Structure 1
Amino acid sequence: MTRGEEADPPPATVEAVRAAAAGFPQPPVDEVIGARDVEAEERTVPGPDGAPDLAVTVLRPRHRGTPVPGLYSIHGGGMISGNRHQDTPRLVDLVARLGVVAVSVEYRLAPEHPDPAPVEDCYAGLAWMARHAPDLGVDPGRVVVMGGSAGGGLAAGVALMARDRGGPHLAGQLLLCPMLDDSNTTVSSHQYDGSGTWRREMNLLGWRALLGERAGDPTAEVSSYAAPARADDLSGLPPAFVEAGSAELFRDEDVAYASRLWATGGQAELHIWQGAFHGFDVFAPEHDLTRAALATRLSWLRRVLGL
């Protein structure tokens, strides 16, 4: 698998990134579910103190017995685009295969809502899920926070928040090509300048939208919840699954994050898929490499959730 080259210049504005994302409309949830034994429910839940309520989608098995593990999902989009429905196909598959309950959160986007709004929204949604675990049919001792790209970075930030704020308890963090480092100084962050599905200039745009002039400034005060690569202490975190492609700009920051988790004595399972580009599972769903990656994620979830 190799990354495709595009003749057109990459989007350079928030509006252009959002327009490009809108070019991939999401089918209705019922259509995604089809004949599978999964039901969907839309809910409105409390946001952070003083902030608007949040929309969440709950996906769960139609036939439930004892409480089951939960997945708390945060969508990608560079902090500036996307919505919770874009991950519905991935989540429906996991609910159907594993018999878990998944909650997908709609968080506020930058630049209209810069840091700390996105990560605080995501933490508020997780706190709601934990409080309402009995109603949702979720075992609160077996919840994994997950996300891809910006959602992976936010998932890592939420895991840090949960540690520092004394909960909710997390059984694991599933970080798929996570966006962790606002510095953009790694080798891979320069290799994919002008090529790939998520390019350097788009990444710089997303971080500037989130952090303003602080983005990339090593002397600026930036919360580790917004940019987890800045965290001084990665100890005491739940087991992590960290995945990236070898042909994407997040490769090196993701390897560094897993290495730092190991250095604290923490658990991390790291996979760098040879030749894979950013979002390869979405853009090449039938490729052998995608099948291998999906099976590996499923294996880790089964192990960390005791399934």
Structure 2
Amino acid sequence: MPGANKSSDFHPDLRRIARLTPKQVVTPVTLPVIRLVTRKMWRRVPKDVEALTLPSGVGVRLYRPTGVTGTGPALLWIHGGGYVIGHPGQDDELCRRYARTLGATVVSVDYRLAPEHAYPVALEDCYAALTWLARLPSVDPRRIAIGGASAGGGLAAALALLARDRGDIALAAQLLVYPMLDDRTVGRDEPDNPGLRLWNRTSNKFGWSAYLGDADPEVAVPARRTDLSGLPPAWMGVGTLDLFHDEDLAYAERLTAAGVPCEVEVVKGAFHGFDGIAPKAVVSQAFFNSQCALLRRFLTPAAA
């Protein structure tokens, strides 16, 4: 529903934190500093998390569910950061929650970042992690979901397309949390909504330019792909004060039109990354529970 997002009224649970949240974080100037701080912040690996380097050279963090035996479901998680920043450690607690709530093995990918590593490097890193995950003895390869937030959600959407096209792994579901899906959003004429937080049009232009490099957008950008048929069932969630609101709903409509089941969760008055900024807020908890409800549905084995 392009053009539907005009109000800048924050959700009651988010009004206070919104006043303290910047409208923009990532620029070419701040990029080196953010990366340095991020790496230092998440350098230490918690005792309950396994940090591994795969044969492909890709780093991952592994979160195992407690009290679960035999083979079970799995989730490949892809962190956000506009394709240019981010670290799997930023989502340690979130991935623990997925593992605990779903009884699933969760793997978070430390994919290589743009602009040093433009498309398709990050996507291939995620695919390498996915194929490794599918071979784990504790994982049922028929019950694997993929998911991510922001740029991670964009990579998850691209990974779903890649997995479909290569035909090696049949995914059970895709979790698209306010995903960064369409580079054409940077060309819109209207001014930024004053309610935007963390990621605005200037950040978006920088992120897409860095990620795409010399790649063909018709191939590299999920929203530009013409054939969305045969993809796994999807969950799409986004706030009305998110720069990606319109592009996300447009992609959800196209998934549905292509015959892909797609559950859409629109949070009125929520800005980009709200659930990470205020994870204990009631609105954030409901957002997470909605994701888990869909994952349970598609990761639960069919009755014999």
Q: TM-score, normalised by structure 2?
A: 0.86
**Shift in Å, 1:61:** 2.3
Which of these residues, 274, 279, 300, is aligned with residue 280 of structure 1? 274
Structure 1, gaps ≥5 residues long: 32-38, 48-52, 215-220
Q: Secondary structure at the match of 2:64?
A: strand
Any residues of structure 2 matched to 1:126-275 within 5 Å, and which? Answer: 126-130=130-134, 132-134=135-137, 137-184=138-185, 190-192=191-193, 195-212=196-213, 221-224=216-219, 226-275=220-269
For 2:7, the equivalent position in structure 1 comes to: none
1:40-92: per-residue Cα shift (whole Å, max 9, x none)?
22221133xxxxx1111111024431201000011110000001111111010
For 1:71, the equivalent position in structure 2 comes to: 75
For 2:62, the equivalent position in structure 1 comes to: 58
Residue pair 1:5, 1:196 contacting (<8 A) in 2 also: no
Summarize the Cα distance change of 1:81–1:305 in structure 2 as closer, same or farther, 3 Å threshold: same
Summarize the Cα distance change of 1:7–1:85 in structure 2 as closer, same or farther, 3 Å threshold: closer
**Shift in Å, 1:267:** 0.6
Residue pair 1:72, 1:143 contacting (<8 A) in 2 also: yes
Q: Secondary structure at the match of 1:197?
A: coil
Summarize the Cα distance change of 1:104–1:188 in structure 2 as closer, same or farther, 3 Å threshold: farther
**Shift in Å, 1:7:** 9.8
1:262-302: per-residue Cα shift (whole Å, max 9, x none)?
10111100111000000010111222211211121121111
For 2:6, the equivalent position in structure 1 comes to: none
Summarize the Cα distance change of 1:12–1:56 in structure 2 as closer, same or farther, 3 Å threshold: closer
| Amino acid in the other structure paired with 1:292 | A
Q: Distance in 2 between matches of 1:306 and 1:81?
A: 34
1:213-264: per-residue Cα shift (whole Å, max 9, x none)?
77xxxxxx3253x310010100000000011111010001000011000101
1:135-157: per-residue Cα shift (whole Å, max 9, x none)?
xx011100000100000000000
- Runs of 4+ in structure 1 displaced over 6 angstroms? 6-9, 186-189
Q: Distance in 1 between matches of 2:125 and 2:218?
A: 15
Summarize the Cα distance change of 1:13–1:150 in structure 2 as closer, same or farther, 3 Å threshold: same
Larger RCO (CA under 8 A, 6+ residues apart): 2
Residue pair 2:196, 2:242 contacting (<8 A) in 1 also: no
For 2:298, the equivalent position in structure 1 comes to: 304
Structure 2, gaps ≥5 residues long: 1-10
**Shift in Å, 1:14:** 3.3
The percent identity for this pair of structures is 42
Summarize the Cα distance change of 1:60–1:12 in structure 2 as closer, same or farther, 3 Å threshold: closer
Q: CA RMSD in A?
A: 2.5
Residue pair 2:149, 2:178 contacting (<8 A) in 1 also: yes
Summarize the Cα distance change of 1:161–1:126 in structure 2 as closer, same or farther, 3 Å threshold: same
| Amino acid in the other structure paired with 2:254 | R
Q: Distance in 2 between matches of 1:30 and 1:284?
A: 22
Q: Distance in 2 between matches of 1:129 and 1:157?
A: 18
Summarize the Cα distance change of 1:193–1:126 in structure 2 as closer, same or farther, 3 Å threshold: farther
Q: Secondary structure at the match of 1:30?
A: coil
Summarize the Cα distance change of 1:27–1:260 in structure 2 as closer, same or farther, 3 Å threshold: same
Q: TM-score, normalised by structure 1?
A: 0.85
